[in-house]
Structure 1
């Protein structure tokens, strides 16, 4: 039974044409993936391009041959400490060449890496990550060993390649697509993050197929700009190294690093702080993690291939992508290869094209679930009735609708729909109006209380009264923010997204509402 036959009873409420479009729009292309595990592709690059520079940071550099040798030596140490396929290895350090060595060594040993930036993550979060992930070993560097909570074996990564003379390392068994690749901790409703297990099959399906491979080639320079605990950092690091390019790890000045990059992967918040004129080498830009303003997309699409994507950590970085062209509406594109997207109503039935609903993701992007949280896994991961078998689909909580051309128009998040004076308001729709104002590069709107919204804009010379007037002309009266604050830049979280909690504190502290 093929997918169309299996899903026919679930589509009876749709017209014949809409049933055809359900699969035409919602099913990504079928593609064969070259490797079962992402580090196999990196090892192949080390064999075929050994002298190419693999990683640069603060004036230091190592080639692919050196990276592979150092990672092999470290994998031997991990095995000596009892690390086996399927285990977890915590990677608690900062951006550096040893960080990349640690990632590759962990994968070579057959384990999944669990990254945290020790300079940013509070001690309570590190303890929580260790308690949930239960790593066999904590990898760090000598200057951060004192930051690691006690009770776990610690192995420091050598700063140089002095310990390379070890025999070729072979794990106890070959890596499989369903082996965990990394575990990332995402924001949770209880105040502590939830651990998400992402498999090698999930990762290679995005990074070794188009468009997720971003066309990266040997000789290109790819930025490592993002927090290592953010899933888009895996796009930067693993996406670069699996295609033989040079990973350029940033210092404190992101703009200085970006000036000499071919590929930039970023959130819209981070990208809005970079000037395309100052990045003359850039070929490809990919953004995700937040809604992308049209003006920002146009600004970069005029000089580079600009991809806008969408997808939470649970569906492997992004599960939809689209190339934006200047002057066109910004969409989140279409399902990436071997993946599906369903726009469903509140009863779980497919919405006709053009009608809004909630996005559910299916296919090879769907991760293995939450660590030590079966209740949440059961709530967000459900059996996929359209693909059948043992396939799962994931509730993204993103709202969207299909355009007549088969792209997905993002309509915000279910948790960004709020009630103001009894009316439902989509916060992103207010921000989108503000981002059309001259001088506004980014905007965010938040619910202050049951009767009032408050907005913040970034950029020069946005007049608050004119901003409120613009919203009043475009949207109903209850959507007009009580106050609009014009800032030079919007504060951001360690993962490069707008820091909404800080903005709410600012509004309340400023006494926005008497």
Structure 2
């Protein structure tokens, strides 16, 4: 990783802000820095252990008819940790956790953390074996944690050590004796987990997330979501998705009960008090059918204003933003129905800068790219120093060797000092030679009244298409609404109305599948004919 000296930092900060009037400079420095907050624990599993000591009989998790108390979960994790140490796992290792949502998954996750190692989660039911193979090749420990029903799906080498968590727990269920561990002192800079995101080269990129990163968002407000003992938190997300750590570790660190879903997300949502989801998942739920919900938080993709208004009228609603590389979310905003929807301000101990292409701070109201700094910035990519150097840069504002991350999100500061998310740099496309922001087109469609959700896509060099829900949307009226408000080249050539938008395994809109639907449609074939078949 690149580092910056204090002298270099002072020069760079002056260069980044010096072009602005002093009032704007002071304003941006104030808006861009989240409040300073101390962290009660150095590592996230220490917060769990404190809850286990304070309320050992409290139920930690429910899954179907099975439950486990905090005491039982702590003892079983200790027992498994001892076994993993005997298998050669040491502090600093990266350990495969190829499982599905379950109570044994929690035991495996905590056992790895207790050793001082990092867990690497994948849902083995749906992750292609070839991708699992590529991930295994990057890990330092050969041990794989899985479940007996999934073992045959894993691309294990001959003789590779594998622990089926459900079978291990069944050997000595809910042991009563003390299982203490003798491990190194916890280090907040040590890795907590490694999350693999899709890479541009076809190989997944592993983001190295530290305990300091995780504790910073989960143990401070508002990222802690007010979770406390006696509350129930839904666990509905894919475990390979960073927001699943928000559900799982956020719940266990605060003494609440984790409700682990099966197939029906709605069933879990109807019984929990805290729900963390993507907007696409939340759009499939009806707040009237979720009477116990007190807090809902969304992130992972842009949230439509109407969706935020509907849920904010029902419960406390947070809209957040932040890529995996900044640890789950690094901005969070409590939304009030009818107010302009933003992603809020930097969370505690975090910073956000809106910079232009020259690395200079944008004036309030001006659009730029968001860079993230502070304690949420992760430790770079696993075994990929080149990509790390490209995406992580020395932070000219914080200095002292601190790093900032290039989110590639477009944003601007409002007059009230909140951040508006204006899409991704990746969503800026060229059509007929003009630059178009796909998220801006989708937002316009969502504002037409009858449309609850919209996705805009580049079909080819000449055309845009869009998908809207529900299927009853008046397509001619929606197109006219766009034509009255947008430049002609921004108006979709075809708008498809569907009942539901397809989702990826991580709960986001599956844009690749939508584009394929468009190409396979009669309208899509006509568009391709009009451009000579050039996509």
**Which of 430, 438, 443 is matched with 1:419 structurally?**
430
139, 145, 150: which one pairs with 1:139? 145
CA pair 171-394 structure 1, distance change in 2 beyond 3 A: farther
The equivalent of 1:48 in structure 2 is 54
Q: Is the 8 A contact 1:382 1:394 kept in 2?
A: yes
1:260 CA displacement: 0.8
| CA distance in structure 2 between the partners assigned to 1:376 and 1:370 by the alignment | 7
Q: Paired residue for 2:298? A: 287
Which deviates more from structure 2 when the two are superposed, residues 184-193 or residues 299-308? 184-193
- CA distances 1:209-253 after superposition (whole Å, capped 9, x unpaired): 000000001111100000000000000000000000000001101
SS of structure 1 residue aligned to 2:362:
coil
Q: Give the CA deviation at 1:159.
A: 4.6
User: Which of the numbers 210, 224, 244 marks the counterpart of 1:213?
Assistant: 224
SS at match of 2:292: coil
Deviations 1:419-455 (Å, cap 9, x if unpaired)?
Answer: 1111111001111111123442211000000110000
Is 2:70 the counterpart of 1:72?
no
Task: Confirm whether residue 156 of structure 1 aligns to residue 156 of structure 2.
Answer: no
Aligned to 1:401: 412
Matches within 5 A, 1:294-305: 294-305=305-316
2:473 corresponds, among 457, 462, 466, to: 462
Distance 2:213 2:437 in 1: 32
Query: What residue in structure 1 maps to residue 357 of structure 2?
Result: 346
4+ residue segments displaced more than 6 Å: 1-6
* Match status 1:106 vs 2:112: yes
Moved more, 127-136 or 341-350: 127-136
Query: 2:257 is matched with which residue: 246, 260, 279?
Result: 246
Give, in angstroms, the shift of residue 73 of structure 1.
Answer: 0.6
CA-to-aligned-CA distance 1:369-403 (integer Å, 9 cap, x gap): 00111110000001111111111000000000000
RMSD: 1.5
Instruction: List gaps (5 residues or longer) in structure 1.
Output: none
Q: Is the 8 A contact 1:437 1:462 kept in 2?
A: no
The Cα shift of 1:174 comes to: 1.2
Q: Determine the structure 2 residue equivalent to 1:60.
A: 66
| Map of 1:22 onto structure 2 | 28
Q: State yes or no: 1:37 paired with 2:43.
A: yes
Q: Check whether the contact 1:112–1:182 (CA below 8 A) recurs between aligned residues.
A: yes
Cα offset, 1:501, TM superposition: 0.5
Superposed CA offset, 1:442-473 (max 9, x none): 11000000110000012141122222111111
Matching residue of 2:369: 358
Q: Cα distance, 1:62 vs. partner?
A: 0.7
The equivalent residue for 2:97 is 91
1:191 offset after TM fit, Å?
2.0
Q: Which moved more, 1:138-147 or 1:241-250?
A: 138-147
Q: Name structure 2 gaps, 5 residues minimum.
A: 1-5, 530-535
Q: Deviations over 1:168-226 (max 9, x none)?
A: 33243111110000000011111221001100000000000000000001111100000
CA deviation after TM superposition for structure 1 residue 9, in Å: 4.2
1:492 aligns with 2:503: yes
- Matched residue SS, 1:143: coil
Asked if 1 retains the 8 angstrom alpha-carbon contact of 2:248 and 2:258, the reply is yes
Contact kept? 1:440, 1:462, Cα under 8 Å: yes
Of the three residues 436, 440, 447, the one matched with 1:429 is 440
1:129 alignment partner in structure 2: 135
Does the 8 Å CA contact 1:439/1:460 hold for their aligned counterparts? no
Does the residue aligned with 1:41 lie in a helix, a strand or coil? helix
1:163 Cα offset (Å):
6.3
**TM-score, length-normalised on structure 2?**
0.94
User: What is the TM-score of this pair, normalised by structure 1?
Assistant: 0.98
* Residue range with higher mean Cα deviation, 67-76 or 154-163: 154-163
1:271 deviates by 0.3
1:376 counterpart = 2:384: no
State which of 208, 218, 237 in structure 2 corresponds to 1:197: 208
Match of 1:228 among 214, 220, 239: 239
Could you tell me whether the CA contact under 8 Å between 2:278 and 2:298 is conserved in 1? yes
Kept after mapping to 2: 8 A contact 1:108/1:171: no
Aligned residues: 514
Change (3 A) 1:120 1:454: same
